[in-house]
Chains A and B, each alone.
Chain A
Amino acid sequence: MKVSRRTSLFLLAGVAVVLASILLFLYVNSKSDQTVSYTESRDLIRQIKQQNSQWENEVLKARVALIHNYDPLVSPLSEMTRLWQNFDSMASQHRRNDSPTWRATRDAYLSAMKEKTRLVEQFKSHNAVLRNSLAFLPTAEDDIQAQLAQLTDADKQQLQNIAIDTYDLLLTSLEFAQVTSAEHAADILVGLNKLQVNKERLPQAFHEPIDVLSNHISLILREQPLVNSLLEQIEMVQVSERLDDITNLLNRDQQAAEIVDQRYHFYLLLFSALLVLLLIWLAVRLIRSFAQINQMNRALVAVNDELEQRVEERTRQLKDTQSELLDSARQAGMAEIATNVLHNVGNVLNSVNISAELVTRKLRNSKAQGLGKAMQLINQHPEDLGQFLSEDEKGKLLPGYLNQLVQAIDLEQQGMAEELTQLSKSVDHIKDIVSTQQSYAGASRLLEPLSISELLEDALRMNSGALTRHHVKVLKVYGDIPRIMGDKHRLLLILINLISNAKYAMSDLSNNQRNMTLTTSIVDGETLQISVRDEGEGITPENMARIFVHGFTTRKEGHGFGLHSCALAAIEMSGHLNAYSDGPGTGALFVLQIPLKIAEGES
């Protein structure tokens, strides 16, 4: 079945589109930017974990009063928030929030972070005041001890007890800061009660410092367990673990994605192999068709060469034929010319013959024989010649006879001289014909000064025999044309042919009116026009088109060379030859036009 070109194109395009989309689909699925985002996500989680550790580290540093600046406890949190926002936007881009497990893990982390933030903030507040009071304790105690030392009038023993109690309270409080036990707490409470009791025993000036000290110790007693418990709680908040959960989830997702990736990679590989096979197959097909095309090309080239050879051969044959034809045509032309010449010569010879015969006849019947008879009579009378001439009957007649004879011979001689003049004239004519023919036969193309009317006369003379035989009356309408520079031979060739054709054209006319009109004129001052008009058979319109074609003729004995060579000759002279006819029986007009070149010395 033959599929149309259009349909097959559509089919091909369709197959290409399908293959390309499969390839694209597999590529997109196998590539999946999940790996990139996975690495980035894991990195973000790792960074959050780092910040979390740093945060805890800073908390511990604050706990042991290594720093007095809480900015480091703020910056990890803001950094973690920033990192989490990055991570979260990346996660939501990957539609992780669609998974309930993911949402649960995410919410667990966020609530852990919220709790931890709350605890750390509380820790900051409480730890700050706790550290402050702890730092102040020795000073507060010193204030009291210094004041106690200034008391001189009181009971030494009691003062010492108070000092020891106060000092013990300080130590217990400081110990409590290190080991926060219920035992120590109880000790502190006892110490604080003692301090209150002691305060009552001391002067008014002591009340304020003691209140300050006891306030701060109360604060330590209150805040230290709180800070400790906050630290424990902070430790309990499993931010790190929640982050690990997220990492695990990421790992799981990534593993799943990798499995899918691998599957698609495998598909892609398979598909690529398929495509490669297809390509190879296509390449093989292509190479094969290429070879076929080559082969056909070679065959074509061979055929072409052969054809060319044949064409060449044919051309050569044609050329040969043409040259043969040309040769034959030339021979035929020459034969015609020769015939023409011989014909003319023959015609003239006829007159020569007649003249010779006339002279012969006249000589045969010459009166000169009478002179012989008269001489015989005279010779019979050698002695009595005078007597004979005067007395004899016959002798008396002799002088009169001689006189008559002289007259007759004179007449005879006159007639023979006339006849001989005619003869020599005819011989001259033959000479003329031959010399004209000789000059025509030459191939000279030299321009020479010419008289058109003389040329026409020459042409007419060369046809004169035939013209006379066919009783053609030549009408000459010659314009006033100065001598021109022209190619005599070509012009003669054309004129002889045209006159000859005109004569032939009128050979079948029944009536005796056979008129041929020769006209010469100058057109527009620059063209010489010579026309030959006959009143003969004319030219049919279909023949008109082919009349100058080589080999065309309407005559049985014609060879179709004459008009063709005339037209060629006209063109060679930068002129042209045209034929006009109104149709059969209306006669024909041949017009030769050549550029007018007036000979030097003419006006």
Chain B
Amino acid sequence: MTSLASLLCASLLLAAVAEAAPLEGPLKSLPPVPALDGRRVELGRQLFNDPRLSVNNSLSCASCHRLEHGGADDKPLSLGFDGKPVAVNTPSVFNASLNFRQFWDGRAETLEEQVHLVVQSSSEMGSDWTTVVQRIGADPAYGSAFAEAYPDAVTQANIRSALADYERTLLSSNSRFDRYLAGDTAMLTLEEKYGYQRFQDYGCIACHQGVNIGGNMYQKFGVLGDYFKARGNPTVADLGRFNITGDEDDRHVFKVPSLRNVAVTAPYFHDASEPTLEGAVAIMFKYQLGRIPTKEDTALIVLFLKTLTGEWQGKPL
């Protein structure tokens, strides 16, 4: 009798566990922070905040990727080392390692390559590796730390590796939505759950899905309507991947951005043209989905999007 009772209890427990199991769906929860060499990560952190990476010692990575501003800039367009605005809105550095490519036009395949392009970009840091390696190598603190973390000490590749490793640890974990996905269904209000439902039903998930809720494919901006004609003032940056491949099919094609922390990374789109989340959702409906949502649905979706804001060092972004 007792054994039967305990069996019953066990099955009940199992059922309870099954209820708390991760929820399946097109959106996946954030992975844990990878276990990397702490010395390299620390070096990356220092380099990330080091203005010596820019040619005139004016900009560090953190100047534009401000961790307290959701890993992005508070300006629509960040200012380069020369004080002139860059061509596109700064994407968040948070969860960047989960993107399948880097930059809006996806011209970098890896974080290391992204570092390389930013340091050498004539509109961003405007430096070159000889200078950077020389400056970093001249600092005895860096010298010893690099010698400890890498067999060949300060090199271009090692600086890039350390920065990339640091960025791999920049995951905005513990968002309410992630906790919901992990099985804690009480984390979302009923409205937010409806918002998630609308998000799926309207087809937002056609592009914004996966672990980073976006960031795993390219998409043409303006599938069902000419966004750029409506906006006016066409720029070179508006051409997107066309600038990289020269392929006519890639005109106005951009990497689908991640929607994680979207509520704290305004303004939106590569051109930073939309200051509000509601406006951005509306633009997406019009030019990407070609549908007319109800005001209520838009509001629900915005509510849902706000649950995607994660934490950094225990504090919400």
Residues in chain A within 8 A of chain B (CB atoms): 67-71, 73-74, 77-78, 81, 118, 121-122, 124-125, 128-129, 131-133, 135-136, 208, 212, 215-216, 219
Contact = CB atoms under 8 A, between A and B. Distances in A.
Contacts of B245: 118
B291 A128 contact: no
Given A81-B109, A124-B218, 19 more contacts: A68-B25, A68-B200, A68-B206, A69-B28, A69-B209, A70-B209, A73-B217, A74-B100, A118-B247, A121-B217, A125-B219, A125-B220, A128-B219, A129-B288, A131-B206, A132-B289, A212-B291, A219-B223, A219-B290
B182 interface: no
Nearest to B219: A125
21 contacts: A67-B26, A68-B26, A68-B206, A69-B26, A69-B209, A69-B210, A71-B210, A71-B216, A73-B216, A73-B217, A74-B210, A74-B216, A81-B109, A118-B245, A118-B247, A124-B217, A128-B206, A129-B206, A131-B206, A135-B203, A136-B203
Contacts of A69: 26, 28, 209-210
Nearest to B253: A125
B211 interface: yes
Contacts of B187: none
Nearest 8 Cβ contacts at the A-B interface: A68-B26, A71-B210, A132-B206, A132-B203, A124-B217, A128-B206, A74-B100, A70-B216
A135 B223 CA distance: 16
Q: Is the interface of B mostly helix, strand, loop or mixed?
A: loop
A140 to B, nearest CB: 8
A125 B218 contact: yes
Given A68-B26, A71-B211, A74-B216, A219 B224 contact: yes
Interface string B203-232: 101110111000011111001100000000
B161 to A, nearest CB: 14
A139 B253 CA distance: 28
A132 to B, nearest CB: 4
Contact of A129 (B109, B211, B219, B291): B219
Interface residues of B, number: 29
B290 A215 contact: yes
B139 interface: no
A63 B119 CA distance: 40
A67 B209 CA distance: 10
B249 interface: yes
A136 B217 CA distance: 21
Interface string B181-211: 0000000000000000000100101110111
Nearest to A74: B100
Most chain A Cβ neighbours within 10 Å, of B205, B218, B224: B224
A129 B223 contact: yes
Contacts of B210: 69-71, 74
A122 B249 contact: yes
A121 B218 contact: yes
Nearest to B210: A71
A360 to B, nearest CB: 139
Interface in B279-317: 288-292
A136 B207 contact: no
A146 B207 CA distance: 29
Contacts of A125: 217-220, 253
A77 B206 CA distance: 20
Contacts of B220: 125
A312 B282 CA distance: 130
A549 B186 CA distance: 128
B35 to A, nearest CB: 17
Nearest to B200: A68
Contacts of A216: 224, 290
Given A68-B205, A69-B26, A212 B292 contact: yes
Contacts of B26: 67-69
B28 A71 contact: yes
Q: Could you tell me the dominant secondary structure of chain A's interface residues? A: helix
Contacts of A136: 203, 291
Nearest to B100: A74
A215 B224 contact: yes
A71 B205 CA distance: 12
Given A71-B216, A124-B218, A208 B206 contact: no
Contacts of A81: 109
A73 B26 CA distance: 13
A128 B207 CA distance: 7
Contact of A208 (B288, B289, B292): B292
Contacts of A132: 203, 206, 289
B56 to A, nearest CB: 35
A124 B26 CA distance: 15
Nearest to B249: A122
Nearest to A122: B249
A219 B289 CA distance: 11
Contacts of A68: 25-26, 200, 205-206, 209
A173 to B, nearest CB: 15
A70 B100 CA distance: 10
A333 B17 CA distance: 130
A125 B217 CA distance: 7
Contacts of A124: 217-218
A219 B224 CA distance: 8
A442 to B, nearest CB: 103
A480 B209 CA distance: 140
Given A68-B26, A71-B211, A135-B203, A128 B217 contact: yes
A129 B224 CA distance: 10
A118 B220 CA distance: 15
B221 to A, nearest CB: 11
Contacts of B207: 128
Contacts of B109: 81
Indicate the member of A118, A136, A208 with the most B CB atoms within 10 Å.
A136
Nearest to A124: B217
B219 to A, nearest CB: 5
A147 to B, nearest CB: 13
Nearest to A117: B109
Interface string B1-38: 00000000000000000000000011010000000000
A13 to B, nearest CB: 39
Contacts of B216: 70-71, 73-74
A69 B211 CA distance: 9
B27 to A, nearest CB: 8
A223 to B, nearest CB: 9
B192 to A, nearest CB: 20
A70 B290 contact: no
Interface string B100-116: 10000000010000000
A191 to B, nearest CB: 18
Contacts of B219: 125, 128-129
Nearest to B250: A122
Given A70-B209, A125-B253, A131-B206, A212 B290 contact: yes
Contacts of A71: 28, 209-211, 216
A386 B211 CA distance: 202
A596 B23 CA distance: 125
A215 B206 CA distance: 17
A408 to B, nearest CB: 150
Contacts of B211: 71
Contacts of A118: 245, 247
A552 B249 CA distance: 136
A121 B109 CA distance: 13
Contacts of A121: 217-218
Among B205, B210, B220, B288, the one with the most A-chain Cβ atoms within 10 Å of its Cβ is: B210
B193 to A, nearest CB: 18
A215 B223 CA distance: 10
